[in-house]
Every structure is written in structure tokens, then in C-alpha cells.
């Protein structure tokens, strides 16, 4: 999955579940929900589930957790905590990086890691 694709959360989950040849009932049991609930999520009749269930779905499907959370319209709770520690600075950093390519963001993250590890 790549960021910015025009696919809804439910459609993505169904597509990937089918690709992995997982039955609806089997997957529902794995994430601890009813098959009816999962079916309604996949048809976008219900909003995406809570973060813990989105994380479990990502694990089952082999998807990136952050990308699946973003597709669900959610932000990882650990990121929220990081932002709360330095809200002004983190917001400025995110706004500054808007418009950078994925490669540029990866390079920036690598440089930040090097700075942090010094």
C-alpha cells in the first residue's frame, strides 16, 4: 500500500483478506469481532475500528501499521504522545516537511536518527 491511494479502508481490508485467501469468519475471529461487524467495515457501512483492532488487521494482512491507520483516518497513539511533548516544534516540523517526496522524507528521518544517536 502506498500513501495517497484512493482506496477506502474497508475496500483495502477486503481486497487484502481475499488476496491472502482468508475467510471473513476466520479473520473476524482473529481480530475479535463478529463476521457481521467485519463485513460492514469492509463495505464501509461502519467506520474503521479502534487503533488496537486496526493494528491487529495490519498484522494479519502483513500491511504497514502506520499506513493502515492513516487509511482508517487515525494516528498512532505513540505519535500523539510525541506531539504532546513538544506540540509547537512538532507541528512546525510536520508543516515544514509538507510537499517533500517519500525519498526526501526518508533521508530526513535517517539524518534525524543520526543526530539523535550522537
Q: What is the mean pLDDT of each run of 10 residues along the chain (118 residues)?
A: 72 97 97 97 96 97 96 94 94 95 95 90
pLDDT at residue 97, rounded to an integer: 95
Was domain 9-71 assigned CATH 3.40.1440.10? no
pLDDT at residue 118, rounded to an integer: 81
The set of long-range contacts for 42-49, using a CB threshold of 8 Å and a minimum separation of 24, is 42/10, 42/11, 42/13, 42/14, 42/17, 43/10, 43/14, 44/8, 44/9, 44/10, 44/11, 45/10, 47/73, 48/9, 48/10, 48/72, 48/73, 48/74
pTM of the model: 0.83
Where do the CATH 1.10.260.40 domains begin and end in the chain? 9-71
pLDDT at residue 3, rounded to an integer: 47
Amino acid at each position: 500500500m502506498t500513501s495517497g491511494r484512493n482506496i477506502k479502508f474497508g475496500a483495502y481490508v477486503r481486497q487484502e483478506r481475499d488476496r491472502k485467501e482468508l475467510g471473513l469468519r476466520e479473520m473476524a475471529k482473529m481480530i475479535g469481532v463478529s463476521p457481521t461487524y467485519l463485513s460492514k467495515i469492509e463495505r464501509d457501512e461502519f467506520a474503521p475500528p479502534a487503533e488496537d483492532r486496526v493494528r491487529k488487521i495490519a498484522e494479519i494482512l502483513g500491511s504497514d501499521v502506520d499506513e493502515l491507520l492513516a487509511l482508517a483516518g487515525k494516528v498512532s497513539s505513540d505519535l500523539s504522545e510525541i506531539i504532546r511533548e513538544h506540540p509547537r516544534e512538532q507541528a512546525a516540523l510536520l508543516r515544514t516537511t509538507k510537499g517533500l517526496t517519500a525519498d526526501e522524507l526518508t533521508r530526513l528521518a535517517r539524518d534525524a536518527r543520526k543526530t539523535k544517536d550522537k
